[in-house]
A = this chain, B = another copy of it.
Amino acid sequence: MAIEQSAPAPVYRIGELAALTGMSVHTLRWYEARGLFPADIPRTSTGRRVYGEQAIGWLRLLARLRDSGMPVSEISKYAELVRAGDGNEHERVELMEAHARSLDEQIDRLLASREVIRTKIRAYRHLLAERGIDVPGAEAGAGVGDGRD
């Protein structure tokens, strides 16, 4: 069997990757310096970074982790585990499970906050409706909450 000549794997320069991921080139370099990549970024002979297709998938995950509040230091730990190779999947999954729990908490808190806000809005709407119907322009407000708020 001859060695298969596969189609040239698409490769990106840092500017292209930035455009594709919505991150700035500064950020990409900063992430790399912080150890957020699971593998060394290869360079051209003159030192320019060369990213493979998988970089996009990784950065998508990375963006999700960041966006959901995982600190850079934690993502770095995860990247380090991936970099270390097979055999530490248990640690990786534990890290992700911890983050999933953090997400559950965040979501619960936001839902609770949303209820508080919605209640506030309902109270204001009620007040405005009363005013609009009863005494347009009246200034008797009994307050929406328990005081001035």
Contact = CB atoms under 8 A, between A and B. Distances in A.
Interface of A: 38-39, 54, 57-58, 61, 64-65, 67-68, 82-83, 85-87, 89-90, 92-93, 96-97, 99-100, 103-104, 106-107, 109-114, 116-118, 120-121, 124-125, 127-128, 139, 141, 144-149
A38 B148 contact: yes
A57 B128 CA distance: 22
Secondary structure class of chain A's binding surface, majority of residues: helix
Contacts of A145: 57, 61
Contact of A64 (B89, B90, B117, B146): B117
A121 B91 CA distance: 11
